[in-house]
Structure 1
Amino acid sequence: MGGVAIWGLHRDTADVRAIGLPVFSLGSLPTGPLAVEERPADALASARMGEWVVDSGDVVFGDDDGVVFVPGRHIEDLLLLAEGIRDKERRQAERTRGGETLRSQLGFATFLANRAENPELSFREHIRRVGGAVEE
């Protein structure tokens, strides 16, 4: 187990950090549970995380920004997509370190000019057109 995801609050943050256990939760609270809720019969087979149900066939990825639940059958596709996003972001960062601003890389001046002609144009649409969208 690489960490714990909780749809609720956790406590003992300093102790959890000290043992190196990643905890992903909605926040912290100094007290323990104030009530014991009845658990569904399948509580050890699946877990409800907000509107999602996660089970043993799913894979959970987490970082400082949150967690993502992925059906195990989609892992290979997801990893290929994630590698593409990572590579594009690294190229953009490298160009930025080389002195080219992200504003320039994404053609922000062109976006503003096009937006003046078409107020419906979103920045997301623009960066898709110029190949700057990292998640696609």
Structure 2
Amino acid sequence: MLKRFTELSTPLIADACVRLGEPLRAAPAGILPVLPGRRLAGRVLPVRHYGSVDVFLEAFTTHAGAGDVLVIDNGGRRDEACVGDLAVLEAGAAGLAGVVIWGLHRDTPELVEIGLPVFSYGALAPGPVRLDPRGPEALRTARFGEHLVSAVDAVFADDDGVLFVAADRVDAVLETAEGISRTERDQARRIRAGETLRDQTRFEEYLELRGRDPEYTFRRHLRRIGGAIEE
């Protein structure tokens, strides 16, 4: 999954979901990699954080598989960092591909040195001082913004953000994203060669057809002529 994603991007994954009619499950804006340019893809290893690192260690011991991505639900909190260098080192030792946090991290220089992809809202020095009661869903599901994810989901992340896709639809989404990517690369090449996007998408023809039929959308037009820019 990660190997195929290295040639793609989250915008392409999002467009593929739209084209296939898959739910578009994007993390809230602002979740970015600690080290710009890093990409991440893998099965979701969900964890809900209650103030202690023990829930991460239990997930690594009882639920983790090689290449999984630790997806941490810290409620989007901005008043504490829930992951630091030791937790990330341990994630790497457990064979995980990376960490995605609905919240904050700390120990930024150490995380950069470790190199395992970590995505979060950003850095904050204080760790948690609370210890909340642990719920029964601690290792089963994670809330990430408005979305609920679990081990039946995959996660994709890069500089443009984070997306979740049902694991059994990943192959179809990746195949569609690859097709969109090929089309867009060809369109970019042709623009650089002097053929405008308006010419490529037969935009004047689109305006004429829309004038005849107000229900004729640009997205429908692109699908008819085989173009790509919106999805």
TM class by shorter-chain length?
0.7 to 0.9
Aligned length: 135
Q: Which residue of 88, 93, 102 corresponds with 2:188? A: 93
Structure 1, gaps ≥5 residues long: none
1:40-99 deviation per Cα after TM superposition (whole angstroms, max 9, x unaligned): 322123211122222223211111111221222222212211221122122212222332
Give the share of equivalent positions with the same residue, in percent. 50
Structure 2 match to 1:50: 145
What is the one-letter code of the residue matched to 1:30?
L
Q: TM-score by structure 2 length?
A: 0.48
Structure 2 match to 1:81: 176
Match status 1:21 vs 2:148? no
Q: Which residue of 90, 97, 103 corresponds with 2:198? A: 103
> CA shift at 1:114, angstroms?
4.2
Inter-partner Cα distance in structure 1 for 2:126 and 2:197: 46
Structure 2, gaps ≥5 residues long: 1-95
What is the one-letter code of the residue matched to 1:32?
P
Coordinate RMSD, CA, aligned: 2.8
Say which structure, 1 or 2, has more relative contact order (CA 8 Å, 6+ apart): 2
Inter-partner Cα distance in structure 1 for 2:158 and 2:168: 21
What is the one-letter code of the residue matched to 1:68?
L
Structure 1 match to 2:124: 30
Change (3 A) 1:3 1:118: same
Q: Which residue of 163, 175, 180 corresponds with 1:68? A: 163
What is the one-letter code of the residue matched to 1:44?
L
SS at match of 1:6: strand
Task: Tell whether the 8 Å contact from 2:152 to 2:167 is kept in structure 1 after alignment.
Answer: yes
Change (3 A) 1:24 1:65: same
